[in-house]
Amino acid sequence: MSFGWSIIMFCSLVLFDAARTSRGSFRQLPSSRIKPGFLVPIKTNDPGVQKAARYGVYTYNNSSNDIFLFKESHINKAMVQIVRGLKYILDVDIARTICTKRKHSSLDRCHFQEHKELRQTFRCNFEVWLTPWLQKAEVLVSHCQ
């Protein structure tokens, strides 16, 4: 099987799974929205979006000089593009947590800062490219202000 055919099969499986509802039935996806290379809006609570946002924040934390870790507080907008994997384009609010970098805490267990003078938030644009079959993730764009 050629590499191109493998991509098409993978994308078909992803889209097939995306069409499934929580009850196991299927919802109709407009065929005009399922074109490789095109940006498609996606729900911000989608597991792939959540994973991509977390990876974007992880990259931000690694490049930041802040003593505290940041965590996504709200995903404002998400789009996905099928390009040899899935490229997520995200608009995310991140906020400082109470966890310090030295403790290497799991972000799931980190609560947001409660002290007014330590609170800090940023609005970030992340572009995260996930290639699940290679178990690879790469942040292409990380811009926070």
Name the pairing type of β-strands 86-100 and 68-82: antiparallel
Task: Please count the structural domains in the chain.
Answer: 1
In the prediction, which pLDDT does 56 show?
97
Domain annotation covers residue 6: no
The verdict on residue 17 lying in a domain is no
Q: What angle do CA 117, 107, 41 make, to 5 degrees?
A: 100
Q: Give the confidence band of 3 by pLDDT, cuts at 50, 70, 90.
A: very low
CATH of residue 52: 3.10.450.10
Query: Is 16 within a domain?
Result: no
Residue 82 pairs with which residues in a beta bridge? 86
Would you say residue 1 lies in a domain? no
Give the confidence band of 34 by pLDDT, cuts at 50, 70, 90: low
pLDDT digits (tens, 9 = 90+) for 75-133: 999 999 999 999 999 999 999 999 999 887 789 999 999 999 999 999 999 999 999 89
Residue 14 belongs to a domain: no
Q: Whole domain around residue 137: which residue ranges? A: 35-144
Q: What does the alpha-carbon distance between residue 65 and residue 79 come to, in Å, rounded to a whole number?
A: 29
Position 139 pLDDT exceeds 70: yes
- What are 36-80's pLDDT values in tens digits? 888 999 999 999 999 999 999 999 999 999 999 999 999 999 999
In a domain, 28, yes or no: no
Cα–Cα distance, 48 to 40 (Å, whole number): 13
User: What are the E-state strand segments in 51-85?
Assistant: 68-82
Nearest-CA neighbor of 103 among 56, 68, 61, 54? 68
Q: Is residue 140 part of a domain?
A: yes
**Model pTM?**
0.74
